[in-house]
Structure 1
Amino acid sequence: MRRLAATTAALAIGAVALTGCGSSDSGNGKPAGSSQPASAKPELKVSGGYVPQPAMDDMAAGYFTVDNTGGAGDQLTGVTSDVASDVTMHRTESDMMQEVKSFTVPAHGRLVLSTGGNHLMLMGLRKKPTVGGKVSFTLRFAKSAPITVTVPVEPATYRPKG
């Protein structure tokens, strides 16, 4: 939990990274600068989600995997939750947490949010998630329709298998 407190402090001091870009149509049915056919699109599925029961009453973390079996990439651009007033996306590099504006979900690839790596921070908890409870997330993407998932609250020491 000391690491969470340290990363929270680093977040307060740290800078916001920016990613994400728009795409435009070149008029031939293909995105500008792309050799992908016009029919290529993201096909997203969310799995493995969970929220560890937080030690603090005002913030928690969230994790899941987004698989993309489609022929086009997408960007996770925002997340909301039923238990938090604000959900931010973070990456962790060299034990430093940094807020980001989006995460890439590559074509025929996956985005993994996990302990020690990319993750969500749920801030301003309306109620503290407890083991056995559920948390809902609505994920917003640059190209795909929003996806709402409900994930279990696991013990703070929980680590998924695999």
Structure 2
Amino acid sequence: MVIGMKRFFLSVLFVLIGLAQAQPTLKLEQGWVRRVPGNITAAYLVLYNPSNQPIRILGASTPIATRVEFHQTTHAGHDDHLDISAMKRVETLTVPARGRLEILPGKYHLMLYGLRDKNPRPLQEGQKVPITLRLEGGATLTFTLTAQMR
């Protein structure tokens, strides 16, 4: 009976270890939310994926905004007199296996819309802002960013 119980508990332990290892994990290396007085702002992050598999980010949310979208800044006209930048919406972001995704000004960024619908006051310098990322497979990760004037 004791040997059977030990095997049972060892089996449960191995299953739990396997589940823990299967959960996608991203490491936040840096991140902030741009402090602006308006109704729209942007959030920036650098994420590191220590796993051997790419991790796709399907969506994001925050309690300070009505919606969050992924955008990419594109540049055209690279001569000395003309540099045209535009934003285009992207549906997903991918953090490569054992690599980084830079969600930074001039690259990818998270657009936060409807700030005034959630908060009548503008973001304050140093205010903590939770951002939840929804990953492929159903997992979510929440990071806390700081509002900063940059």
TM-score normalised by structure 2 residue count: 0.72
**Contact conserved, 2:23 with 2:139, CA < 8 A, in 1?**
no
Q: Which residue of 1 aligns with 2:95?
A: 105
Larger proportion of helix? 2
> Hey, what's the Cα distance between the residues in 1 that align with 2:145 and 2:22?
30
Which AA in structure 1 matches 2:35? Q
Q: Which has the larger radius of gyration?
A: 2
**Residue 54 in structure 1 maps to residue 39 in structure 2:** no
**What aligned pairs does 1:1-162 form with structure 2 within 5 A after superposition?**
42-56=24-38, 58-94=39-75, 95-125=85-115, 126-127=118-119, 128-143=122-137, 145-155=139-149, 158=150
Give 5+ residue unaligned stretches, structure 2: 1-20, 76-84
Which structure has more relative contact order (CA 8 Å, sep 6+)? It is 2
Percent identity between matched residues is 33
Q: Which runs of 4+ in 1 moved over 6 A?
A: none
Q: Which residue of 1 aligns with 2:18?
A: none
Instruction: Report Cα offsets for 1:27-63 as digits up to 9, x if no partner.
Output: xxxxxxxxxxxx888542123110111142x111000
> Hey, what's the Cα distance between the residues in 2 that align with 1:107 and 1:42?
11
Structure 1 window deviating more from structure 2 (114-123 vs 137-146): it is 137-146
User: How large is the Cα RMSD of the aligned pairs?
Assistant: 1.8
Larger proportion of strand? 2
Aligned length: 117
